[in-house]
Amino acid sequence: MELLNVFIRSAFIENMVLAYFLGMCSFLAVSKSVKTAIGLGVAVIFVLTITVPINWVIGELVLGPNGIFKMDLTFLRFILFIASIAATVQLVEMAVEKYSPSLYNALGIFLPLITVNCAILGAALFMVARSYNFSESMVYGIGSGIGWCLAIVLMAAIREKLRYSHVPAALRGLGIAFIITAFLGIAFMSLMGINPATYFAK
Partner 1 sequence: MAESAIKTTVPLAPKEGWWGRKERSLITDPLHMDNPITVQVLGVCSALAVTTLVKPALIMGISVVAVTGFSNLVISSLRNGIPKQIRMIVQLVVIAALVTIVELFLKAFSYDVWKQLSVFIGLIITNCIVMGRLEAYAMANKPWKSFLDGIGNGLGYAWILVAISAIREFFGRGALMGYKIVGPSSDFLINTKSSALLSWYQPNGLMVLPAAAMFLIGTIIWIQRSREAKLVDIS
**Residue 188 and residue 19 in contact, taking contact as beta carbons nearer than 8 Å:** yes
Q: In this structure, what is the dihedral angle of CA atoms 77, 80, 85, 91, given to the nearest 10 degrees? A: -160
Tell me which stretch binds partner 1 (CB under 8 A): 3-11, 18-26, 37-45, 59-67: 18-26
Per CB under 8 A, which region of 1-9, 49-57, 76-84, 146-154 contacts partner 1? 76-84
Q: Does 91 bind partner 1 (CB under 8 A)?
A: no
| Binding-site string for partner 1 from residue 34 to residue 63, where x marks contact by CB under 8 A and - marks none | ------------------------------
The total of other beta-carbon atoms located within 10 Å of residue 186's CB is 10
Distance CA 177, CA 160 (A): 11
Query: Based on CB atoms, which residue is closest to partner 1, 112 or 196?
Result: 112
20 belongs to the binding site for partner 1 (CB under 8 A): yes
Residue 70 exposed, middle or buried by CB count within 10 Å (0-12, 13-18, 19+): exposed
The whole-angstrom separation of Cα 18 and Cα 20 is: 6
CA angle 80, 133, 77 (to 5 degrees): 15
Asked if residues 140 and 127 have their Cβ atoms less than 8 Å apart, the reply is yes
The answer to whether residue 133 forms part of the interface with partner 1 (CB under 8 A) is no
**Interaction between residue 71 and partner 1 (CB under 8 A):** no
Residue 4: name the closest of 144, 149, 136 by CA: 136
Beta carbons within 8 Å of 92's beta carbon, 6+ residues apart: 43, 46, 47, 50, 111
1, 70, 75, 201: which one binds partner 1 (CB under 8 A): 75
**Single residue of 2, 186, 195, 200 touching partner 1 by CB under 8 A:** 186
Stretch of 1-9, 95-103, 132-140, 177-185 contacting partner 1, by CB under 8 A = 177-185
To the nearest whole angstrom, how small is the minimum distance from the Cβ of residue 115 to partner 1?
Answer: 6
Q: How far is the CB of 100 from partner 1 (least distance, A)?
A: 21
Which residues of the shown chain bind partner 1 in the complex (CB under 8 A)?
Answer: 20-25, 28-29, 75-79, 82-83, 86-87, 89-90, 112, 115-118, 120-122, 125-126, 129, 168-176, 178-179, 181-183, 185-186, 189
